[in-house]
């Protein structure tokens, strides 16, 4: 079985999701090592924003296990411009649901090559977006040749403690944000550690929907004002 953990992220110019996917037994092995690392650093939980000096250390730890980094981000201003248009796919629901479902779509696409693997999906997000994210991920699962979605859990204050590996999703979200900031906005280039996952083949991709392509991603063909573009 595959487990995927994703967490929301964002900055001034973009919002998105990032995380990791991999086999359940690798997650179990990482959990033991991760919690020991927390003990070594004398912290109860790792949060990248709270402990930025530890991001490289925890990234190196994850790289010891065959988990794959995945992320998706969307330009805030461009999405705000096109979001009011009539849409026919999940992209138009809201920016967070669009990013989460794009991560799911990439994972489901990857799993088409592994017909014996199903996926338990865990999403750390604000309560406001939990319902729309659930709907959009289920939509993506229903629109691939083989639906690999075994379960979908959105984390709340009540159940978060049952999923300590949400801390790894926090790391993935941070790596996604730094990659987008560096590659697409020319910011904080020295802090982009995602290349390590790419070169180590622990990579499903970090995709950014920019202002140049957002109208096509949004499937605005049903709006007459934009029909000439299609």
Tell me what the mean pLDDT of segment 194-216 comes to. 89
What is the predicted pLDDT for the residue at 92?
66
pLDDT at 221 over 70: no
pLDDT at 99 over 70: yes
Quote the mean pLDDT of the chain.
90
**Confidence category of residue 82, pLDDT binned at 50, 70, 90:** confident
pLDDT at 85 over 90: no
pLDDT at 216 over 90: no
What is the predicted pLDDT for the residue at 226?
36
Tell me what the mean pLDDT of segment 167-174 comes to. 98
Residue scoring higher pLDDT (207 or 229): 207
DSSP H or E stretch at residue 10:
strand 2-10
Q: How many domains does the chain have?
A: 1
C-alpha dist (Å) from residue 134 to 23, 35, 41, 85, 131: 22, 29, 35, 22, 5
* Cα–Cα distance for residue pair 181/189, rounded to 1 Å: 8
**Confidence category of residue 227, pLDDT binned at 50, 70, 90:** very low
Span of 32-36, 48-52, 82-86, 219-223 with lowest mean pLDDT: 219-223
Q: Which domain holds residue 219?
A: 2-229
Residue scoring higher pLDDT (73 or 211): 73
What is the predicted pLDDT for the residue at 78?
87
What is the predicted pLDDT for the residue at 218?
56
- Give tens-digit pLDDT for 37-81: 999 999 999 999 999 999 999 999 999 999 999 999 999 998 887
Percent of the chain with pLDDT over 90: 79
**Confidence category of residue 213, pLDDT binned at 50, 70, 90:** confident
């Amino acid at each position: 079985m595959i487990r995927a953990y994703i967490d929301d992220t964002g900055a001034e110019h973009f919002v998105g999701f990032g995380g990791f996917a991999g086999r359940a037994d690798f997650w179990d092995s990482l959990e033991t090592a991760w919690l020991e690392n927390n003990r070594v650093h004398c912290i109860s939980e790792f949060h990248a924003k709270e402990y930025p000096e530890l991001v490289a250390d925890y990234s190196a730890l994850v790289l010891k296990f065959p988990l794959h980094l995945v992320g998706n981000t969307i330009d805030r201003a461009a999405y705000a411009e096109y979001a009011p248009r009539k849409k026919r796919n999940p992209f138009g629901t809201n920016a967070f649901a669009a990013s989460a479902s794009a991560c799911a779509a990439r994972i489901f696409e990857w799993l088409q090559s592994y017909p014996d693997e199903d996926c338990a999906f865990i999403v750390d997000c604000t309560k406001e977006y939990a319902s729309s994210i659930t709907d959009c991920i289920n939509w993506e699962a229903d629109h691939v040749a083989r639906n690999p979605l075994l379960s979908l859990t959105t984390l709340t204050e009540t159940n978060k403690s049952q999923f300590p590996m949400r801390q790894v999703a926090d790391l993935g979200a941070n790596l996604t944000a730094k990659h987008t900031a560096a590659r697409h906005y020319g910011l904080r280039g020295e802090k982009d550690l995602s290349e390590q996952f790419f070169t180590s083949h622990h990579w499903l991709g970090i995709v950014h929907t920019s202002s140049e392509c957002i109208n096509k991603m949004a499937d605005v063909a049903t709006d007459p004002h934009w029909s000439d573009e299609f």
